[in-house]
Amino acid sequence: MNPCVATGWSTIGILVPLMGMVVAAKAGEPATGPAASAVPPASAFTLPALPYAQDALEPYISAKTMSFHYGKHHQAYVDALNKLVASTPMATQTLDKIIVDCTGKADKAAVFNNAAQDWNHTFFWKSMKPGGGGQPSGRMLDLIVKSFGSFDKFKETFAATALAQFGSGWVWLVQDGDSLNIIKTANADTPIARGQRPLLTCDVWEHAYYLDYQNRRKDFVQAFLDHLANWDFAASQLK
């Protein structure tokens, strides 16, 4: 007797266990049977489409940076979150609810980090647009002047807050009733975990700017304010 058959293995094409599937007749052909035909469950979360092409923010953010930041970093958070929530009630919940429910819970830190980073990045992409930046108008400008004294003072405070964030994190413009504030958060932390209403954000993790600006975070934040900030989106988030 062939020893391979006696031990339950086939040498047709490649060594494959004979339990749970029918081995393909030739190497390279797909296997058939119960194990091969099983369809994996759909992922709870998917990488959202960018609101513009990956090269649309050039020269201030390059297509190369976007391919890594969006296509690899953001995708990795989505993939990790799907693995963490698979077969749990969280797989059917919104990112917002997952973030709020997991805030401050040590045993849910990994879920929080990946859910919050997914949410933060999606908000960041919307916080920019080609031909953005400059000074807003209407109610947004009125609130900025009321809250910071002038638009120039707002930009100065926003940039200083971004530079003051030690290590990885985010700088946010948030609404607090009839006024606006600028806050910074470390790592994956996010205003919605604190019950705050974000209007605009700039990612100051190094992967957001290092390929284009190296260690010049200040230049990156200035480019965000002068050329990328999506004030229409920020205004749409106002209460």
- Residues 118 and 150 occupy one common structural domain: no
Residue 50 belongs to some domain of the structure: no
- Residues 119 and 82 occupy one common structural domain: yes
Q: What is the reported pTM?
A: 0.82
Residue 166 belongs to some domain of the structure: yes
Model pLDDT, residue 67: 98
Residue 49 belongs to some domain of the structure: no
Average pLDDT, the chain: 87
Residue 57 belongs to some domain of the structure: no
Split at pLDDT 50, 70, 90, the class of 42 is low
Please report, for the domain that includes residue 115, its CATH number: 1.10.287.990
- Residues 143 and 122 occupy one common structural domain: no
Residue 48 belongs to some domain of the structure: no
Q: How many domains does the chain have?
A: 3
Question: Is the pLDDT confidence value at 194 over 80?
Answer: yes
Question: Is the pLDDT confidence value at 156 over 90?
Answer: yes
User: Which region among 5-14, 89-98, 160-169, 173-182 has the lowest average model confidence (pLDDT)?
Assistant: 5-14
| Domain extent for 19 | 1-34
Rg over CA atoms, the chain: 24
Residue 71 belongs to some domain of the structure: yes
| Mean pLDDT, range 114-118, rounded to an integer | 98
Compute the distance between CA of residue 170 and CA of residue 161 in angstroms, rounded to an integer. Answer: 9
Residue 164 belongs to some domain of the structure: yes
- 204 exposure class (CB count in 10 Å sphere: 0-12, 13-18, 19+): buried
Compute the distance between CA of residue 180 and CA of residue 157 in angstroms, rounded to an integer. Answer: 12
Task: Give me the phi and psi of 198, to 5 degrees please.
Answer: -75, 145
Question: Is the pLDDT confidence value at 30 over 60?
Answer: no
Residue 147 belongs to some domain of the structure: yes
Please report, for the domain that includes residue 162, its CATH number: 3.55.40.20
